[in-house]
Amino acid sequence: MAAEKSSIKIITLIAADGSVFEVEPNIVKEMKTVQSYIDELDQNTVSIPLPNVFGNDLAMIIEYCKKHASEEETKEAKEEFDFEFVKRMKSDDKLRLLQAASYLNMESFLQFMAKAIAAEIENQSVEFVRDYFQIESDFTPEEEAELRKENEWAFK
């Protein structure tokens, strides 16, 4: 089993829109969903459909994984990369990548996205947070007023 696994050279990931990515096994190590798929297969070449992740997002995730899997990059270079990575993203990208990270079961990338999203809702009003996540309130105005009163200190 171990010998078979190590003989896998290239893994093909197929995104929801049909775009194809060929990556080395060490790149997908953090993607537990993909990894468990590979572990179950005996073949030497592996092709994995990812119907919940779009090509653009998968490209970004792979870029992140490549940077972080690299042993040549210093810790500082990786931090700099993370900073720029978040900077060029819109709120919508972050939420999509969070969902993708959850689907692919990537713990450290998930925590990275969660932190970036938390930074956007820090110090923001309830209305802003609702709008940001597109949460529809199902409280009546009276109920909401009552709840606000209950924890008045949190809504000053």
Binding positions for other proteins, rule: CB under 8 A = 95, 98-99, 101-102, 110-111, 114-115, 117-119, 121-124, 126, 129-130, 133-139, 144, 147-148, 151, 153-156
Measured from the CB atom, the residue of 9 and 115 that comes closer to other proteins is: 115
User: Can you give the C-alpha Rg of the chain in angstroms?
Assistant: 20
Rounded-to-integer distance, Cα 137 and Cα 155, Å:
17
* Least Å from the CB of residue 6 to other proteins: 31
Measured from the CB atom, the residue of 79 and 131 that comes closer to other proteins is: 131
Under 8 Å between Cβ of 45 and 13: no
Measured from the CB atom, the residue of 65 and 117 that comes closer to other proteins is: 117
* Least Å from the CB of residue 109 to other proteins: 11
**H or E, element range at 149:** helix 141-150
Rounded-to-integer distance, Cα 89 and Cα 65, Å:
17
The alpha carbon of 155 is separated from its chain's Cα centroid by a whole number of angstroms, namely 31
Measured from the CB atom, the residue of 22 and 146 that comes closer to other proteins is: 146
